Amino acid sequence: MRLAQHPPKFAPLPSIASGQLTIDLDAVVSNYRALSRWVAPTALGAVVKADAYGLGAGPVSRALSQTGCRDFFVAHLSEAIAVKSQVGTARVYVLNGVPAGAEPMCADASVLPVLNTLDQVARWACAGRMRNVRLPAAVQLDTGMSRLGLSETELSALCRSGLLQDINLRLVLSHLASADEPAAPSNADQRRRFEAMRAMLPKAPWSLANSAASLLDPESRGDLARAGLALYGVHPAQNDDMRLAAVVRLEAEVIQTRELPAGAGVGYGLTYKAERPMRVATISAGYADGWPRNLGNRGAAYFRGVRLPIVGRVSMDSMTVDVTALGSSGIHEGQWVELIGPHQSLEVVAADAGTIAYEILTRLGSRYERQYIQRNMPTEPAA
Ligand SMILES: *Cc1c(COP(=O)(O)O)cnc(C)c1O
């Protein structure tokens, strides 16, 4: 990892990587601060699962903990142990629960499991009894999404079991199925069910909102919001008023250019046929780099603000773009094009590929050279 003190030049030279992925940690921090103010007095936790959506859980968690974030969420225990080592005394929650037999490891790492099943609660209570402590944990309730958490029946059984006495209940959480559609009736249903279910439990802080609900639904914010996507600069819904700073920039190198006569085909299956003489450039990024294969004949790259349509299929390690619009000396081998950046947002790439920005982010490849921007190094250490 390189830490840049200044914005990188558009074409970092020399480079031996297929592409350059620039991650602006200052933008992550500024998005965190903006969203924190937005949801106040609700506290804001950061969701850094899946390697902080592909952007690097280590650097992202460190930057956010230095900014004052005290609650981090990941999916797996292995992720939690890695994040915990970066964030000191901040709390790290494991959304997918604790696997059977891993309770001592989880407790030793001072990581908080999100207990999703009666079995998980029983095992966590037992792990605490062996240590003569009530180990801290969160409990998740299924309020209608049918994904993770205790059902109403299981919650009743839990309350009758007495197991809760052996657990230090620090957070009760649930998740909305349609947070990005604030008018969906299921949101109000889930909120009501959550409130009724929470009333059966000892009083504890609660958390329901992801990025979309944090932005759009004040009633879902509770004590702690859990934001992922918005921190990484992507608007979770179309009609939010928040200004988010872009975090990701992706550039790839031109490795060859050529003139095509009318009638020439391009790429596997020759799915593109030049209708007139044209000029194309081959770019060193393909589907093995997480650049979606179904952007073939649909997506684009940008050079100096000019849109360069992808022609033919995206290959594993490269793709070809139409650079005719730039003229004969417009672009040449060794220059770099923008794949994600000021001219082409993650949302646009995702829409062109028929998917969501979450998927584009989490699939960003491992062959890129990664550069982290952090100009405003925090002066205060983490609390
Ligand atoms: C991934 C996840 C989040 C974060 O969602 P965003 O839409 O990225 O803000 C919050 N809560 C849970 C339970 C999640 O799985």
pLDDT of residue 279: 97
Has residue 161 got a pLDDT over 80?
Answer: yes
- Per-residue pLDDT, averaged over 71-96, amounts to 98
Is residue 236 in contact with ligand 1, taking CB distance under 6 Å?
yes
Atom of ligand 1 nearest to the CA of 227: 9
pLDDT of residue 382: 46
Is residue 283 in contact with ligand 1, taking CB distance under 6 Å?
no
pLDDT of residue 14: 59
Atom of ligand 1 nearest to the CA of 232: 8
pLDDT of residue 237: 81
- Per-residue pLDDT, averaged over 230-250, amounts to 90
Residue 232 binned pLDDT confidence (cut-offs 50, 70, 90): very high
Residue nearest to atom 6 of ligand 1 (CA): 228
pLDDT of residue 283: 98
pLDDT tens-digit readout, 183-217: 999 999 999 999 999 999 999 999 999 999 999 99
Residue 383 binned pLDDT confidence (cut-offs 50, 70, 90): very low
pLDDT tens-digit readout, 297-344: 999 999 999 999 999 999 999 999 999 999 877 899 999 999 999 999
Has residue 34 got a pLDDT over 60?
Answer: yes
Has residue 114 got a pLDDT over 80?
Answer: yes
Ligand 1 centroid – CA 212 distance (Å): 9
Share of the chain above pLDDT 90, in %: 90
- Per-residue pLDDT, averaged over 126-135, amounts to 98
Among 35, 53, 73, say which to mutate for ligand 1: greatest number of ligand atoms within 8 Å of CB.
Answer: 73
pLDDT of residue 3: 52
CB 308 within 8 Å of CB 323: yes
Catalytic residue positions, numbered: 49, 268
Residue 17 binned pLDDT confidence (cut-offs 50, 70, 90): confident
Which of 4-8, 171-175, 305-309 comes out lowest in average pLDDT?
A: 4-8
Is residue 50 in contact with ligand 1, taking CB distance under 6 Å?
no
Average pLDDT across the chain, whole number: 94
- Per-residue pLDDT, averaged over 134-152, amounts to 98
pLDDT tens-digit readout, 84-107: 999 999 999 999 999 999 999 999
Has residue 160 got a pLDDT over 80?
Answer: yes
